[in-house]
């Protein structure tokens, strides 16, 4: 009886350690979004390009882009490591949406050292987005 209880405890501890190890080894699975103002100011200070995603809460393609493309490990690594990402929700900031003349969602712009690159309007594959982001970094 005592041995059975020890085995249960050992198995429970092993499961806890296994789950903890899996969580600890997983890289960041989310984009580290900043506010638009914070991202632009940081981009001006650091020289890092600012990735600007214009989105709408009523946009199925925006949701698909975020889930399928922006959460891919390659894109996450590039955006969180070499860009300052910001997401602009059209419903919350209509003046900014009009300023950029957004006509469809999702729309992606990149601001780098006083220049705008883009726009990419609509859904884009991760390979095409990666190519665009790498081109911006070169230029």
Distance, in Å, from the CA atom of 4 to the CA atom of 2, rounded to the nearest integer, reads 5
What pLDDT score was predicted for residue 59? Answer: 95
Going from the first residue of the chain to its last (139 residues), give the mean pLDDT of each consecutive group of 10, the final group possibly shorter: 57 47 52 96 96 96 96 96 97 95 96 95 97 95
CATH 3.40.30.10 fits 28-138, yes or no: yes
What pLDDT score was predicted for residue 5? Answer: 64
Q: Are 79 and 112 a contacting pair, CB within 8 Å? A: no
Domain extents for the chain?
28-138
> Is the pTM above the cut of 0.85?
no
Using one digit for the tens of pLDDT, what is the confidence trace for 45-71? 999 999 999 999 999 999 999 999 999
> Which has the closest alpha carbon to 105: 93, 120, 117, 92?
120
């Amino acid at each position: 009886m005592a041995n059975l209880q020890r085995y249960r405890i050992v198995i429970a501890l092993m499961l806890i350690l296994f789950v903890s190890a899996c969580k600890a080894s997983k890289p960041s699975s989310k984009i580290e979004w900043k506010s638009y103002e914070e991202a632009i100011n940081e981009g001006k200070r650091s020289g890092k390009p600012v990735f600007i995603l214009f989105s709408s809460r009523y946009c199925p393609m925006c949701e698909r882009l975020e889930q399928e493309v922006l959460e891919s490990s390659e894109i996450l690594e590039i955006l969180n490591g070499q860009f300052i990402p910001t997401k602009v929700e059209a419903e919350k900031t209509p003046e900014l949406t009009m300023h950029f003349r957004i006509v469809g969602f999702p729309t992606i712009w990149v601001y780098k050292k006083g220049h705008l690159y883009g726009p990419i309007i609509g859904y884009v594959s991760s390979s095409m987005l990666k190519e665009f982001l790498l081109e911006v970094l070169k230029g």
